[in-house]
Structure 1
């Protein structure tokens, strides 16, 4: 939806401050530039991977998950394909909103929430107070803190130090290898202690934390886009042991790769 060349997320979302704004559509573009809303955004996607970039982090939004973006948070959206379907609900801020609604994060979508989202499939535009659709959408917002207890670590911070930027680029291009921290440190002229301190200071996490999450994000990409068998995905992200890969995936995502794939099959039948 466009008005004079502008997109709905610029012209329409905040036009009525009291409404819940709903938008379902194909992405139709490979970049939604940086913008913000006066309303909180619930974003669920189908058909591919979506990267959501805020000022502090780069989020990875796979199938069967949603991201909550609080009002005022500047963000851009980068889908893996123009054919990705976005399902958006934009909620007005309320005085009684609890802490859950004030923090950005990615959460899994369970069966109940999925059915509620799909019920809104044919809605688009402003949902006015007092309407049946407004009440249903409000129920979706209300249920989130009850079923979403843990933010998933499907995001990584941006490095700011030029030295660390080069190291991160190297890690990303060698994701299929098992990188030893000692060898990485030596390669870039650091002692292990000094590189550990740089990771903690600049990224707020250790090398092993960063490398583990980055490998799991790549694994999800391979599972979603290339439909590789789990043992091949494990090898592609540097694991020689499929059980070790499965255990790590479970620690990060809260489910094993096989369970994740089974849920994707269920999603495709909805």
Structure 2
């Protein structure tokens, strides 16, 4: 992104809304060493983002979606979102579509691992990076990607952390995020929320759809992904850093959330 007023070919109209005068039905915008800001924004085009390297957090409504390497996120048009990341390097491919098909799939946010066929299609499409002139092959190819997305999608609901609307629960979430290495202290969390333990557990589950223990698990796995991205630690070291007493316990928890086993190669070339 060349400056604060241009994002993926879109021009900032006001503090949060981006517009474009590009006549093309769809185009792709690739960036090496992606730079972002923390501002929530909206645009009229639907967005498919493929994370080629690193990871991104997408803050959308009351959820924070993690999009790791080789995953995609679909964001419908007019859906407010912002992105954050602590990854050392982020490489993204952003596909922007003016119109989409009428199926329900295209009206909701989806995060999923890009299967090999979709990944190859997206990488092939990079040859049209920032090409805004009309191109028949590109138009047909991008429409095929768009049409195929519902078939490629295997929902990864585990890659999101809910944000409760009840303000009493915000200190609870902040405490878990700061002390994820340790076991939950339910009494202390209830005190922070100024409610009984029973009420905290009930209200938290109602607000977020998950238990406090599940929230802790998700937080630990998201933190582990950040550590894996640094390539500074073995998986055993990461397991202990995020609160697990053994590599096997960490691997089982990671698999339960991510549906795949953690993989890591330290920068020194040591495999784990």
Q: Normalization by structure 2: what TM-score?
A: 0.83
Residues 1:193 and 2:198 aligned together: yes
How far does the alpha carbon of each residue in 1:109-131 deviate from its partner, in whole angstroms, 9 at most, with x for none?
Answer: 12222111111223134667771
Matches within 5 A, 1:135-174: 135-174=140-179
CA–CA separation in structure 2 for the residues paired with 1:79 and 1:186: 31
Query: Who is 2:59 aligned against?
Result: 53
Query: Who is 1:256 aligned against?
Result: 261
User: Cα 1:228–1:164, aligned 2, differ >3 Å: closer, same or farther?
Assistant: same
User: Cα 1:166–1:124, aligned 2, differ >3 Å: closer, same or farther?
Assistant: same
- Tell me how far 1:250 sits from its aligned partner: 1.0
- Tell me how far 1:216 sits from its aligned partner: 1.0
Residues 1:211 and 2:231 aligned together: no
User: Cα 1:26–1:13, aligned 2, differ >3 Å: closer, same or farther?
Assistant: farther
Judge conservation of contact 1:20–1:128 (CA < 8 Å) in 2.
Answer: no
Judge conservation of contact 2:46–2:99 (CA < 8 Å) in 1.
Answer: yes
Q: Normalization by structure 1: what TM-score?
A: 0.83
Residues 1:99 and 2:104 aligned together: yes
User: Cα 1:101–1:151, aligned 2, differ >3 Å: closer, same or farther?
Assistant: farther
Structure scoring higher RCO (CA < 8 A, sep ≥ 6) equals 1
CA–CA separation in structure 1 for the residues paired with 2:244 and 2:66: 21
Matches within 5 A, 1:42-121: 42-80=48-86, 83-94=89-100, 96-121=101-126
- Tell me how far 1:5 sits from its aligned partner: 4.6
Judge conservation of contact 2:87–2:226 (CA < 8 Å) in 1.
Answer: no
User: Cα 1:164–1:129, aligned 2, differ >3 Å: closer, same or farther?
Assistant: same
- Tell me how far 1:32 sits from its aligned partner: 5.8
Query: Who is 2:10 aligned against?
Result: 9
Query: Who is 1:29 aligned against?
Result: 35
Q: List runs of 5+ in structure 2 lacking aligned partners.
A: 13-17, 266-272
How far does the alpha carbon of each residue in 1:245-267 deviate from its partner, in whole angstroms, 9 at most, with x for none?
Answer: 21121111111113xx48xxxxx
CA–CA separation in structure 2 for the residues paired with 1:4 and 1:46: 23
User: Cα 1:42–1:183, aligned 2, differ >3 Å: closer, same or farther?
Assistant: same
Paired residue total: 259
Judge conservation of contact 2:22–2:132 (CA < 8 Å) in 1.
Answer: no
SS of corresponding position for 1:243: helix
- Tell me how far 1:143 sits from its aligned partner: 2.2
Query: Who is 2:270 aligned against?
Result: none
SS of corresponding position for 1:255: coil
- Tell me how far 1:202 sits from its aligned partner: 2.9
